[in-house]
Structure 1
Amino acid sequence: MNVQTPQVERTVRLDAATAGHTPAAVRAVVTELLRREDEYGTHELEEYVEDIVHTEVPARLGALLSVPATGTTTLVTGGADAFRETLDRLPVGPADRIWTTPYEDVARLTALFALRDRTRCRLDVVPLDARGDLDLEWMAAHIDEDVALVSVAHVPAGCGIVNPVEEIGRLLAPHRALYAVDVSYSVGQLPVNAARIGADLLTGDAWRFLGGPVDVGFACATARLRSALTDPGPARYGQEPPRTPHSASVAGLNTALLLHEKDASAAPRQDLYPQLRDAVGRAPGIELIAPGRVQSAVLAFRHDELTAAQLRRELRARGIVLRKTVAQEMPLHLPGRGITTALHASLDHDTTAQDIARLGQALDAIVSAHRPTEVVLPRAVGGSLAPVTAAQSRPLRGTRGHLTLLR
């Protein structure tokens, strides 16, 4: 008697923008180096991977980002850490203005607020046009030599808009302003060319679309920025000293970069985005959070009654993993739209059309299960019957708020 084992559908991970699915080769490298460190000690491990850390990774990052292999790239624990450490050394004063955007994430915005409070500079927010894109005409009309720094996210943390970082770089080029671009949510899924962007500071994380280990990222600084920064000096009270990533994580990043070099399919298929948008958007009660004219492989959305936490749990029960995003992730944008929580779907290199179809079917099933049901109840007077809608008990969206950094 042959007994067939039932096939279990694989888990569909649509959370590459949170922490991408780490390739087996990357996990193997990190695991082996941690074992080696445990056996021989930290100093031996650092010597063992010295060439990887100082030669191979800078060369591969240089090729990926179109920057020189030496002298420009620093390995960091994360892009936000590098941004904060740069602002700590930025010589600005009360007469200077800093530009940020409504799409700035909470970590970088916190660093900008700290810079403003410390130096008394002015922090301005670039407005959006009617479509949700950064208003380039406003920027062109208001740029002057008082603007010391402009900070822009290539792809923001809380939605999938692709900001026009190259156009902004050309607009700023004739002026004094230093230009900082975060590519944490774009590198590995979109081409990132530092030369064409024209940024003085390019920061990014390795554990999202690149598929590298956590707590390792990079910062690329131009000579103009390096010459403008002051000496670090003694750390202020409560300020953490700069950290460096673990050697095993750097070697894991090296393997992730090697995989991207060898295989063009290591990046998400951008052509699947319209299918993702259609699969999510057709479910009743779903609102897409997709501002702007150009989108990446990331889609944020919410339901008009079901909470993001409830949707995420029910999708997970069906084998589909998404990320929950909260208002404080983009304090200058999401709260203004009345959004407290939402879900984030992001394509990975191995996402298929079938995976997206499963997401759409699951959303339809979940939403249908929570729709009001139509039952027939007798009227109080007369013998005729009429349908009366009796809604199932459902939580209301927005019943739990989240703190933001707005003041």
Structure 2
Amino acid sequence: MQTNQFVPIDKETVRNDTPGLATSTLFMNSAGASLMPRSVITAMQDYLQLETQVGGYEAERLRADHMAQLYGEAARLINARPNNIAFSYSTTAAYMQALSAIPFRSGDVILTTTNDYISNQLAFLSLQQRLGIRLIRIHDLDNGDLDLMHLEQLIQQHRPVLVAITHIPTNSGLVQPAEAIGAICSRYDCWYLLDAAQSVGQLPLDVDRIQADFLVATGRKFLRGPRNTGFLYVSDNVLDTGLTPLFIDRQGADWTGSDTFAIRVDARRFEPQEKSLSVVGLVEAVRYANQLGIEAIGQANQGLMHRLRTGLGQIDGLDLTDWGSVQSNILTFHSTRQSLATLEAALRQGGVLFTVQHKQGAIIDFTRKGIDWIIRLSPHYFNTEAEIDAVIELVDQAMTGRSV
């Protein structure tokens, strides 16, 4: 069980553990793909070297014990049990497996938010077109928070099959109230799917408190693992009910007769059989987060983001576009006074690594905010206050037209 007791992070140690920080860049893109610790890199290099000598199948056999540590480490991170964890190639792959397990019929309702991730929204729209499901979006309050009263009213009125929430949107620092949503869903007969791609590895999560039936995570973002990795949490209720992904392979089931198969009893019925060296990288990334302690990581992140939000918030003509009463390590901003091209050029010239997002990635959110682009900054616990101040100064210089 996670506790509030933690040892503060030794910044010098984690920075020495991060080869990517040896450059002169200011890394502010952990919401995209973060910098891997040395232990992650070394594990994958060693595996690749072994694979060049003995081939992929034998390397996997020889490293099976190492790869199997993923289930325990991921379970520890989110307060689950190893049997409830499945490896996935990405958050999206895990998400689609979860969706495919729900036997939707024409007229079934999915409740989601106006801030759900673009790939999830596209999947819902595809289900709407192909199967005739109904997609209904929960209202937001004036400050950007999810309207929980409206959520419960919609559940009572429409009896949805699924409530699907993105915990932290990719286009905003908003943190959705995952535990409060879970408490509401638990009172009704519906499945609850949480996309935690941006929150796992950034802040503490407890699946007992969240009460999600499915939770999906990625390795490449705040967990600091390799790309093409992630994991899926599947609740005991899902497993006991017998939900199975539509497209299941030999990892998830046994072929018992010419026209029959038997599914695994654990979450690995959702897992692909084919794996690679990236799995050992994910193991080490999750282990690294567990060793530091997710509470300590969350505390360090809060301090950095308070400094960044405060500093950028004082720049005249710069609009911080993150709504909601709870915000994360994603900060987005826009300006009508200065062009995107000017701001982007100034940050890149100053060595800042960041992301630009355009309206087509968040049509509902950007439309109501009256914007068509944002710059996204996403520091992590390995960043320093000096780096935060340097980024603030670069943005200020760009906004005032001073030389960078």
Same fold (TM over 0.5): yes
Instruction: Say if 1:181 and 1:199, in contact at 8 Å, map to a contact too.
Output: yes
In the superposition, the TM-score normalised over structure 2's length comes to 0.83
Matched residue, 1:292: 324
Residue in structure 1 matched with residue 44 of structure 2 by the alignment: 30
SS at match of 1:271: helix
Q: 1:146 aligns with which of 159, 162, 183?
A: 159
2:304–2:381 contact (8 Å) kept in structure 1: no
Which residue of structure 1 lines up, in the alignment, with residue 365 of structure 2? 333
The change in CA–CA distance for 1:334 and 1:245 in structure 2 (over 3 A counts) is farther
Q: Following TM superposition, where does structure 1 have runs of at least 4 consecutive aligned residues deviating by more than 4 angstroms?
A: 241-245, 265-268
- For 1:204-283, list aligned pairs within 5 A: 204-226=217-239, 227=241, 229=243, 232=246, 246-264=275-293, 265-266=296-297, 268-283=300-315
Once the two structures are superposed, what CA deviation does each residue of 1:93-136 show, in whole Å capped at 9, x if it has no partner? 23321101011111111111122222211100001011111100
- Corresponding letter in the other structure for 2:377: A
Instruction: Give the aligned partner of residue 18 of structure 1.
Output: 32
Task: Please list every run of 5 or more consecutive structure 1 residues that lacks an aligned counterpart in the other structure.
Answer: 1-7, 236-240, 372-407
Deviation at 1:163, TM superposition (A): 0.5
Query: Could you give the per-residue CA deviations for residues 314-342 of structure 1, whole angstroms, max 9, x where no partner exists?
Result: 21211222111222322331233222211
Match of 2:148 in 1: 136
How far apart, CA to CA, are the structure 2 residues paired with 1:203 and 1:309?
35
Q: Is the 8 A contact 2:301 2:381 kept in 1?
A: yes
Look up the match of 1:93. 105
Q: Structure 1: which amino acid aligns with 2:149?
A: E
Give the letter aligned to residue 390 of structure 2.
R
Distance in 1 between residues matched to 2:320 and 2:247, nearest whole Å? 47
SS in 2 for 1:94: coil
Task: Report the CA distance shift for 1:76/1:360 in structure 2 as closer, same or farther (over 3 A).
Answer: same
Q: Does the 8 Å contact 1:216/1:245 carry over to 2?
A: no
Moved more, 248-257 or 163-172: 248-257
Alpha-carbon offset, residue 246 of structure 1? 3.8
* Structure 1 residue 242: Cα displacement: 8.0
Aligned with 1:301: secondary structure? strand
* Alignment-derived partner of residue 184 in structure 2: 171
Q: Is the 2:225–2:285 contact (alpha carbons within 8 Å) kept by the matching residues of 1?
A: yes
Q: Highest CA radius of gyration, 1 or 2?
A: 1
Answer whether contact 2:87 2:272 (CA < 8 A) is retained: no
Determine if the alignment matches structure 1 residue 39 to structure 2 residue 53.
Answer: yes
Per the alignment, residue 89 of structure 2 pairs with: 77
Give me the whole-angstrom Cα distance separating, in 1, the residues matched to 2:337 and 2:43. 45
Counterpart residue identity of residue 329, structure 2: A
Q: Matched residue of 2:161: which SS?
A: strand
User: Compared with structure 1, are the counterparts of its residues 9 and 253 closer, same or farther at alpha carbon in structure 2 (3 Å cutoff)?
Assistant: closer
Aligned length: 357
Which of 1 and 2 has higher RCO (CA within 8 Å, sep 6+)? 2
- What residue is the counterpart of 1:57 in the other structure? 70
For 1:252 and 1:220, how far apart are their aligned partners in 2? Answer: 19
Distance 1:244 1:361 in 2: 49
Q: Percent identity?
A: 26
Matched, 1:197 2:210: yes
Measured in 2, the distance between the counterparts of 1:36 and 1:312 equals 42
Structure 1 residue aligned with 2:133: 121
Supply the AA of the counterpart residue of 2:201. G
User: Which structure 2 segments of 5+ residues have no match?
Assistant: 1-21, 250-269
Output the CA distance in 2 between the equivalents of 1:9 and 1:42: 33
